[in-house]
Amino acid sequence: MRLEPIANPSALRSIGLPAGALALTVLVASLLALIAGANPFATLGLILKGAAGSKFALLETLNRATPLIFTGLAVAVAFRAKLWNIGAEAQLYAGAIVTVLLGTGALPLPSALLIPGIALAAMLAGALVLLGPVLLKTRLGVDEVVTTLLFNFIMLLFVSWLLEGPMKDPMGMGWPKSPALEKAARLPRIVEGLRLHWGFALATLSALAVWVIQTRTTLGYEIRAVGLNAEAARFAGIPVGRVMVKTALLSGGLAALAGFSEVAGLKGNLTLDLSPGFGYTGIIVAMLALLNPLGVVVSAIFVAGVFVGADSMSRAAGVPTYIADILMATALLTMVLALKLTRLKVRWR
């Protein structure tokens, strides 16, 4: 077989193929439900109901989407420059550590100054965590995929040490957790009485900001040029290394905001299970959004909905909640294939 480029893909192709990918994903989910001895329609219905069936469910989905928007943006920004940041998990924890460090009474400031200050410091920490692997890449040519992945493991061990040592909550009954944030450092809820916090608004604004950077600034143009063809970009006079570093600072900072908003908005303290793989799920979020920052918000809500829905479905129907993870991995693979095929024709010979 051979692949030939299509100059102008038809509307049928560019909508039909991604839709087909989603249909295939739903088919896989139905099969898994059957294997688990449940009715596929009932299972899918329960997932939908658990994700968006009530005001509570919907807010839970938006809460779960918040860190995913941040990590999704982090990945989208980096992948656009072909900078393979698989270390959003580590950068998330860096942001969370700084949030606890500054939010437990170290800074005697009012909320209006304290919260933005912590957010900026968290971003800086996340940016620095990614800076190491990126400098290794631009200076020494060390592949950043493996180094950022390995940093995730190092960071989790570091957090584990912090929580058992210097950052351990003295009132924690021996559990490895940090002390709780002071009230002034907590992100308030958007509407009093509802569980949704300002982290979600910050995430949406960040998406907008990233979109502006990507489409309306020189940096955005340079990032795209480097991603499309680094050699050509270098030839055109774009400082590829410096663009990579700027991209990394932005990407790491965004991922760190996920940690900041989870600690300051939702959990109130740092534990080792703060992130159930938000950094990795961010890759799926970004790819489903075609690396478009505004699309990231939509796809994060979709992905979060599937996870929240699967949790409540699992309690009711007994299908393991991991069905959500399988769905997401399947969606990722089928979607990248569908997108490739909208631009290429398969010719069998």
Partner 1 sequence: MEILDILLTASFWAAAVRIASPLIFATLGELICERAGVLNLGIEGIMVIGAFAGWMTVYLGGGLWTGVLVAMLAGMLFGLLHATLTVPFGLSQHVVGLGVTLLATVTASFAYRLSLPEVTSPPKIEPFQPFAIPGLSQVPLIGPAFFAQTPLTYLAFALIALVSIVLYRTPLGLALRAAGENPASVEAQGLSVTAIRMGAVIVGSGLMAIGGAFLTMSAFSSFFFEMVNGRGWICIALVVFGAWKPGKAALGALLFAAFDALQVRLQQTPMGAVVPYQVFLMVPYILSILALVLMSRRAEVPAALMIPFNKGER
Residues that bind partner 1 (CB under 8 A): 1-3, 32, 35-36, 84, 86, 136, 140-143, 145-147, 149-154, 157-158, 160-161, 164-165, 280, 283-284, 287, 318, 320-323, 325-326, 328-330, 332-333, 336-337, 340-341
Nearer to partner 1 (CB atom), residue 154 or residue 236: 154
Residue 158: both structure tokens together: 């570091």
Three-state secondary structure string covering 281-342: HHHHHHHHCCCCHHHHHHHHHHHHHHHHHHHHHHHHHCCCCCHHHHHHHHHHHHHHHHHHHH
Least distance from partner 1 to the Cβ atom of residue 160, Å? 5
Least distance from partner 1 to the Cβ atom of residue 246, Å? 21
Buried residues in 135-151 as b, exposed as e (16+ CB within 10 A): bebbeeeeebeebbbeb
Q: What is the largest CA-CA distance in the chain?
A: 72
What size, in residues, is the chain? 349
Least distance from partner 1 to the Cβ atom of residue 194, Å? 32
Nearer to partner 1 (CB atom), residue 9 or residue 117: 9
Nearer to partner 1 (CB atom), residue 84 or residue 198: 84
Q: State the helix-helix crossing angle for 198-216 and 240-261, rounded to 10 degrees.
A: 170
Least distance from partner 1 to the Cβ atom of residue 323, Å? 6
On the CB side of 178, how many CA atoms lie within 13 Å of its CA?
A: 30
Nearer to partner 1 (CB atom), residue 33 or residue 245: 33
Nearer to partner 1 (CB atom), residue 200 or residue 280: 280
Secondary structure class of 197 (helix, strand, coil): strand
CB 303 within 8 A of CB 288: yes
Rounded Cα–Cα distance for residues 320 and 13 (Å) = 35
Least distance from partner 1 to the Cβ atom of residue 214, Å? 19
Nearer to partner 1 (CB atom), residue 152 or residue 204: 152
Residue 12: both structure tokens together: 């049928």
On the CB side of 300, how many CA atoms lie within 13 Å of its CA?
A: 34
Rounded Cα–Cα distance for residues 49 and 39 (Å) = 15
Rounded Cα–Cα distance for residues 314 and 50 (Å) = 10
Nearer to partner 1 (CB atom), residue 135 or residue 190: 135
Nearer to partner 1 (CB atom), residue 239 or residue 320: 320
Least distance from partner 1 to the Cβ atom of residue 61, Å? 20
Rounded Cα–Cα distance for residues 16 and 163 (Å) = 50
Least distance from partner 1 to the Cβ atom of residue 187, Å? 30
Nearer to partner 1 (CB atom), residue 30 or residue 321: 321
Least distance from partner 1 to the Cβ atom of residue 319, Å? 8
Rounded Cα–Cα distance for residues 148 and 126 (Å) = 12
Least distance from partner 1 to the Cβ atom of residue 266, Å? 24
